[in-house]
Amino acid sequence: MEEESQFTLSVNPSRGLMDEKFVILVQNAPPGSELTVHALHQCDDGHGWDAFAHYISDATGRVNVSEDCSLGGTYSGIEPMGLLWSLRPVPGSKPGLRLRKKNVQEPMLVTVSVYEGHRKEGFADLVPLASALVERWYMAPGVRRIPVTEGGLTATLFLPPGLGPFPAVLDLWGGGGQLVEYRAALLASQGLAALAIDYLTAKIIKETGKMTTFKYFETAYRYLEEHPQILGSRIAMLGLSFGTSVTLRMAVYSKVMKVTVEDHHLKQVCDYPSFFRPTRNVANTRITEENHVILRDLSLPITTDPLKKVDVGRLQCPLMLVVGEDDQNTAAQESANDMKEMMERAGNSHLLTVLSYPDTGHLIEPPYTPHVRASNFKPVNLNEILMILWGGQTAAHSRAQEDSWKKILLFLRVNLFGGIRPAAVPLSHL
């Protein structure tokens, strides 16, 4: 093969938002060369993640990852962003890892390299023909990150660049607790203020020993409503997993909150007076041969008792449900169908939008987030770590993440801006 110095590898843009596509281009290779394009990332926890794909250079000595077909690797076919969404823990890593950005004020750094031949392993011992460093950001320049403790909250507010006022999103994650900021930061980078809140492991819970109630979420809502840079009449709630239970209950029953609701991975059955008392039949838990825990059967069959679920027939705001049809953690599809029937009977089904994706699991995250079919998870009400099976097939799940994110943003813009696109800050243009 020709001298290494003739090879070039470029990534454009080399600095961009997490939901922004890039183009990887290899040039000056001998025509018809077998090449491996490889991505390597070290996450905030120090674990290594990598992905790779096999290509053959064309008659001009080029490989364009956005246009050319991968012949094998961690993905195959024409997949412009495959080197991100197919990232997996490097061989030898401990089992059950999940890639989540903890420090959104620093970029996700990915080294993209090209190697001679169709390689499958041993990348750490090889010298690349060419490499490029890529920055992927959740926070665009000018986005402000503001810790919030008012009213006993454990939260972080992200404000877009400019004076505002901005519509806002109240961002709730699931049953693992903690303050998870990366989705809220990305929403702010798209022109929407966003408040990420911890409602299961918040400081006030540790101090009082009592779980949060309606009042905690209403305090978060009022904080947004009264903020001088927030349009108090334009607030939405975004819930994932257990967060959907909260968003639905607050949207239906709270006398304070008037919101638009966008829910991921529906968890519809809420047959408890407080949010956090366990309600499922543990006997319905299944364990796979790989010792992965399947929880989707715990809420089946869907109850017919109207007193044991949220009365979505009373809902008066637009609602979007994002459903993974291979969700192994929650009976998402069955719950969504039940909610649709309830709303049709009540005459408010015109408020409902359902996005349903085949071969898609529970953890539908922002675009190009690596898919994990199973990972370690510690529910806040247990003292043990479980290996939870979330479901999904990598390629289909990743396409669902990309498609649903676009439609979530459109849903929020239509209902909070009247369809007018807010100003986003593309890093590549700086």
SS3 115: strand
Alpha-helix runs per DSSP H in 267-350: 332-346
417 membership: H or E segment, kind and range: helix 394-417
Catalytic site residue from 19, 50, 327, 338: 327
User: Do residues 124 and 5 make contact, with C-beta atoms less than 8 angstroms apart?
Assistant: no
Q: For this structure, is 45 an active site residue?
A: no
State the Cα–Cα distance between residues 81 and 116, nearest whole angstrom: 21
Hey, is 421 helix, strand or coil?
A: coil
- What type of residue is 419? G
Separation CA 224–CA 201 (nearest Å): 21
Are the C-beta atoms of residues 403 and 126 closer than 8 Å to each other?
no
Burial of 187 by CB count in 10 Å (0-12 exposed, 13-18 middle, 19+ buried)?
A: buried
State how far the Cα of 68 lies from the Cα of 50, in Å rounded to an integer.
20
For residue 293, what are its two tokens? 């825990």
Q: Is 327 a catalytic residue?
A: yes
Distance CA 134, CA 131 (A): 10
Q: Which residue has the tokens 């750094």?
A: 109
Distances in whole angstroms, Cα of residue 186 to Cα of each of 180, 182, 228, 303: 12, 6, 21, 36
**Distance in angstroms (rounded) separating the CA atoms of residues 147 and 212:** 19
Q: What share of the chain is helix, strand, coil (3-state, %, to 5)?
A: 25, 30, 45
In the set 33, 86, 241, 375, the catalytic residue is: 241
- Write the burial class of residue 208 (CB in 10 Å: 0-12 exposed, 13-18 middle, 19+ buried): exposed
Out of 38, 265, 292, 362, the active site residue is 362
Distance CA 20, CA 285 (A): 39
CA nearest to 332, candidates 322, 344, 340: 322
Length of the chain: 430
Instruction: Cite the active site residues.
Output: 241, 327, 362
